[in-house]
Structures are given as C-alpha cells and as structure tokens.
Amino acid sequence: MYPDTKELVAALASIMSVSGQEEQGREKLCALAGSYFDAYLPDPSGTHVFVKRCGREGAPKLLLDAHFDEIGMLVSDITEEGFLRVVSVGGLDRRILPAAEVLIYGKETLYGVIAAVPPHLQKAGDHKTAPEIGDLLIDTGYDGETLRRLVDIGTPVGFYEKTASLLGSRICGRSMDNKACCAAAILGAAMLSSEQMAWDLYVTLSAREETGLASGCSAAAYRIRPDAAIVTDVTFAVSPGVREDEGGKMGGGPVVSLSAVTDRGLTRQLLRLAQEREIPCQTCVDACDTGTNATMLSLVGEGIPTAVVSVPITSMHTYNEIADTSDIEYAARLFAAAAEKGGLRL
C-alpha cells in the first residue's frame, strides 16, 4: 500500500528539521518511512539514508536525494521579560514574520508568537519596512527566569503552521520545501518492488541544504558512491512575480532542470521515460545553477551524473508554502520508473 500523499507530507513536515538538527528526527522518520525500504543507514553528516535493493549482486546504485532540513531560527538571547531573540538559519523571509507563530524546541517544545509592534508604537513609515531578524522578539508567555531553565542559547525554533488542504489537490503549510520532495522520494520507493527494480535505490534525506553547504548530501554520496543521482527539490511555481520561464506550473507535473551543471544524458533519459510512461512533466532552464544540492553532488568523488527533478511550490520560504499533491505523485512515479527495469540506463 502507498501512503496517502497529503498525510505523508503532513507527517514529514511535523518532524522538526531546522538545518543542523536533522538527526533528531531519525526515530520518527524511520517509523514513518522505514517499512518502504530494506535498510536505514545512519550517516555522520546527519543525512538519513534509506536503501531499497533489487536483489542482484553488483547492481548499479541510483541515488535519489531530497534535502530533509528546513529553514528556521536559533535562540540567541533570552530577555528578563521572557522574550527570545533569534538568528536565522537559512534564507528566512523578513516580510512574513510579524505575528507569525513558532515552536521552540527546548527541553520541552514551547509555543511562541513573534511580537508585532502595536500601531501606536510605530513611527511614520514603519509599516513599509519588514523588521530585521535581529530585532525580532518571540513571546513565549514565560518569565525570563523560568524560560532560561527550558531554553538554551542555540535552541532551534521552527514555524508552527501545520499542513492543510486547499481546493482540489493543493496543500499548504510549513516546510513543503523540502518535505514535499522527501514525500515524493519515499512514495517513489513505496511504488517499487524488488523484482521490478534494475537499480539499488539509495534515498538520501539529506542535511544542511538550506545553509548553502550541501554538506550532508555530499558526505553521504561519498560513502554510497552511486552510479547516477537525481536531486529532488522544490522550484518556483508560476504565480504573481514568477514568470513561466522561472519555474513550473502547479499541477503540471515535476519540473526537470535543463542546466549546464546537470548531466544531459541522464536528463534526456528522464524526459523520455516521462513521455513513455505518460507522466506529466515540464522543463525549466537553470543555466548556471539549479539552486539545489546537484552542483556539489555532481562533484563528489570522481563525479556523479546528476539530474534535477523539482516540485513547483508558491510562496517559497514562508510558513505557508503551497504545493499540489498531484505533482508530488507524478514525481514519485518518475522516480519509480527510473529505478525499474527498462528505466534509466548506465
């Protein structure tokens, strides 16, 4: 049985994974996804590695990478009055923070609200400027003394928003970037049985993408030494401010990157597979950089042929990113097709 796509995304999104904290989610993640794989390999980089084998000795290895981490914050100060100051982890969008709700992952998980300055305390023109991250205060409902016992400097903070349904197959919530793609990778593996497979499939739900380091992905790939790799991450969905040639259409299927940093042969094979299997799919030109783990991954060891397959989302890096579950399911079908007999060729 395949898991329900929305439920899978919701469950993945509920696992805190602020960059650098990915390991904490291991138990929950294994409980959620373990049954679709043959093995879980812990990795010192914090990357979660799941393996599904085809059962043949010496089968080629396909790596399917989806970064597991999410943008967030770290506590940098605790005030006398019980408010927290924070620094950002990854590209936090300043424009959406006043009155936003957060979870503070201290000794207990605490709820908090990012303080919004009441209008009578604002200066003329303040309402036109997004507050600086360093000026934000998180209201916890605690006094400073009690709070210091529950929260340390460096405690991760993530957004509160849960996954919810919009019209049709659209869903919204925190961390669609990149739990939507983690779900696509897991779902793809769930669709495969070992008899159908021509490849051993390594799914890496990798650490530390949002910090721009790609270190979790590269380290895991170095140990795995795959013969080919697909990176799956979110891309921009066409929406106000996003042109058609800057991303993909929501509901139009996964977006395959045409880029100088990805492998042309592998990319063409994926597009052909999508056509053969009648899986809706789109392309987007990311000439110099896909903005994903692909750049670093392709340079691991002696080099790994790498393609990028993305799920389009809107409002990226907000706490209500919107995705379409049909895109996640089409991406999953493409990943399954890639690892099957008659799928990708070396």
Nearest partner of 157 among 174, 181, 178, 180, judged by Cα: 174
The phi, psi pair for 80, rounded to 5°, reads -50, -40
* Binding-residue pattern over the window 292 to 321 for other proteins, x denoting contact by CB under 8 A: ----------------------xxxxxxx-
Distance separating alpha carbons of residues 72 and 19, to the nearest angstrom: 8
Query: Does 148 engage in binding with other proteins (CB under 8 A)?
Result: no
Judged by CB under 8 A, the residue of 54, 198, 250, 337 near other proteins is 250
Q: Taking CB under 8 A as the rule, does residue 280 contact other proteins?
A: no
100: Cα within 13 Å, side-chain hemisphere: 28
Write the DSSP symbol of residue 120: G
* Cα–Cα–Cα angle for 26, 71, 43, rounded to 5 degrees: 30
| 240 near other proteins, rule: CB under 8 A | yes
> Which of residues 114 and 270 has its CB atom nearest to other proteins in the complex?
114
Interaction between residue 101 and other proteins (CB under 8 A): yes
Question: Do residues 209 and 154 touch, judged by C-beta distance below 8 A?
Answer: no
**Of 4, 7, 27, 80, the one binding other proteins by CB under 8 A:** 80
Residue 206 to residues 11, 22, 113, 122: CA-CA distances in angstroms?
A: 17, 8, 29, 42
Q: What distance in Å separates the CA atoms of residue 156 and residue 277, rounded to the nearest whole number?
A: 43
Q: Is 127 in the site for other proteins (CB under 8 A)?
A: yes
- CB closer to other proteins, 81 vs 276: 81
Q: Minimum distance between the CB of residue 323 and other proteins, rounded to whole angstroms?
A: 10
Binding status of residue 7 toward other proteins by CB under 8 A: no
Could you give the maximum distance between any two Cα atoms of the chain, in Å?
Answer: 71
Provide the token pair at 96. 């959406």
Candidates 35, 129, 194, 275; binder of other proteins (CB under 8 A) is: 129
50 or 105, CB closer to other proteins? 105
Binding site for other proteins (CB under 8 A): 79-83, 91, 93-96, 98-101, 110-113, 115-122, 127-130, 132, 137, 139-143, 146, 161, 164-168, 170, 172, 236, 239-242, 246, 250-251, 291, 314-320, 322
